[in-house]
Chain A
Amino acid sequence: MTDLLRVHNVSKRFERLQAVDNVSLIVPAGQIVGLIGPNGSGKSTLFALLSGSQRAESGRIEFDGHDITHRSPDQIFQLGLVRSYQDPALFTRMTVLDNVLLPVKDQLGENPGLAPLHRIWRKQERDIASAAGALLDRVMLRRHYKTLASDLSGGQMKLLQLGRSLNGSARMLLLDEPTAGVAPKLARDIFHLVEALRREQGLTFLIIEHRLDVLFDFVDDVYVMHAGRVVAQGTAADIAANAQVREIYFGD
């Protein structure tokens, strides 16, 4: 199995806080890997470094053999590494369908010179719309396609963000708390969807999640962060039994 994402000794400092401290991790292609740790342990900052919205001060990040340490977010997206956010970060005053269509690559009508000439891109637009329809079915939002994103429920917003992340030829998704604020049943449904996507499309996932009972049922591997460092790594069973992790996480 090839490694899709390799992180070597990456560090990031904010003012007086060492947010990410010499972190290394590996995500093999087609795996679902969990990333856990208490609040403020550096998980989301690590995601920001991986997706290019923050720059690492040292270390090296490789995605599919490309050095992406100093690439911009749009370039990293083009390679197929897509990030989602803790807060759904939707385009709120746009429809559900427009949210999902935005990330599609190579849209003719995005060129301002061609955009007013509707005949040129209409066919392509219809095609990507019907593909998006199938995607919206999967995230149970098909019948809400005309709804403004701001009018969705919290759970639907999470689902829409997941759908949007999937619609840009993604190969690997970085999901930041995909079930935060979501009812237990839907949380499990979201993880079933993740597993189905891995199985059907060979997608790879790195998932930050606090709902360990759900996460541990689906992951191949888990990394634990604390105070900017990776303090443990192993299978869900290993991590659940790890005394140090229990102390950091549950205060046991």
Chain B
Amino acid sequence: MNIDLLATAIALLTFFGISAIMALSLNLEYGLAGIPNFGKALFVSIGAYTAGITYTRLLPLLVGKAYLDPCGETLAQALDLRVRAIHDQPGIAFLNLGLTLLIAAIVGGLVGSLVSYTALRVKEEWYLGLVLLVGSEVIRTLVRGYTPLICGINGLSGVTQPFSALDNPTLSAACFMALVLAIAVLAYVYCERLVRSPFGRLLKAMRENEPVTLALGKHVPRLRAQVMLIGSALAAIGGVLFAVNLGFVSTNDYAVGFTLDIWVMVVLGGVGNHRGALLGALIVTVLNRATAILSIWANAQGSQFEFNYVRYILFALILLWVLRFRRQGLLPEHAETTVAHDELSVQP
């Protein structure tokens, strides 16, 4: 069996960039603000569904073509229209992707901040985690049954990345990888600056003791809405990139397991440390890819062993190991928040 090393590396790094964005977003919410968001897949899927809508409705509009039903009898024509538009008019393709990212961030952020207010109705923050876990599955089931959005159970193909005009699969994949990594770097810098600020101090305080934070004059419900807005907007951006990278939107991708993968990244890498989130994203991505490649190889050798599922065993073992021996994760949180600490160090 031949493995195209370059293509594998490009795919790996693209997945890493997308995972990194999602891990950073969960790290803001859980690692720093202490909100146990077990509905990550929901906010990621909002990005994916947004891409589904813009590629089928906005894109024809931008190229001046009539809307075709992407699911029914005109499925093939609609798909052809999308793929051609992206291939033939790169400018439009980029505009479409940019608008998709923008709309997804806005919708994701709004939903996230609204959902945060359910926390006011539940006594313990972990109940909010359960509400989000269940809510995520409920929405997924609804979208599955509602055809107009992404053709229900069939999903939607032709949600392709905007570099297809290059007519060289490796080169266009490399360009998309560069775009994803650039967005991931921006997300990292943004999250890092956010945490090393008085806002980051507020988030940590809310995590450590919510009633006391409120009693010290901080409006905790608004704070929770703000961090959920930022986290969910980031998750939705990750969702757009995830869908566009696959070229396909399907509700199957955004089940509970998707949420748990992101949790493993954050818990393993280091709760509250953005570099830890990146490290966790890298390790999980590599393990995912490695087990996938091994399973293909094993099957090619005639093995009956389904290697693909080994990753679930690995993740479980990693989680157990982290929770038993290294609660703070591989890279522990950086304690000091702002420049205030330098100010005191220079004085006597």
Bound pair (A, B): yes
Q: List the interface of chain A (C-beta within 8 A of B).
A: 51-53, 72-74, 77-78, 82-83, 85, 89-95, 97-98, 101-103, 105, 107-112, 115-118, 121-122, 125-126, 128-130, 132-133, 136, 142, 145-146, 148, 164, 168
A residues near B137, Cβ cutoff 8 Å = none
Whether B230 lies near A112 (C-beta < 8 A) is: yes
**10 tightest A-B CB contacts, nearest first:** A109-B198, A129-B340, A115-B199, A77-B217, A115-B197, A129-B343, A91-B208, A116-B193, A103-B216, A73-B215
The reply to whether the CB of B190 lies closer than 8 angstroms to some CB of chain A is yes
B204's partner among A72, A73, A98, A107 (CB-CB below 8 A) is A98
Would you give the 0/1 interface string for B305-348, flagging 1 where the beta carbon is closer than 8 Å to chain A?
00000000000000000000000000001011111110111010
Interface centre among A82, A108, A112, A130 (most CB of B within 10 A): A112
A77's partner among B205, B215, B272 (CB-CB below 8 A) is B215
* A80 nearest CB neighbor, chain B only: B217
Whether B199 lies near A110 (C-beta < 8 A) is: yes
Kindly provide the distance from the CB of A14 to the nearest chain B CB, expressed in whole angstroms: 16
Whether A168 lies near B217 (C-beta < 8 A) is: yes
Interface size on B, residues (CB 8 A): 41
11 contacting pairs across A/B (C-beta < 8 A): A72-B214, A73-B211, A74-B216, A77-B216, A82-B215, A97-B336, A112-B227, A126-B340, A126-B343, A129-B344, A164-B216
Other than A94-B204, A98-B201, A110-B198, give 4 A-B pairs with Cβ distance below 8 A.
A52-B215, A77-B215, A91-B205, A93-B207
Q: List the interface of chain B (C-beta within 8 A of A).
A: 190, 193-194, 196-202, 204-205, 207-209, 211-220, 226-227, 230, 272, 333, 335-341, 343-345, 347
A residues near B213, Cβ cutoff 8 Å = 102
Whether A74 lies near B200 (C-beta < 8 A) is: no
Whether B341 lies near A97 (C-beta < 8 A) is: yes
B residues near A105, Cβ cutoff 8 Å = 217
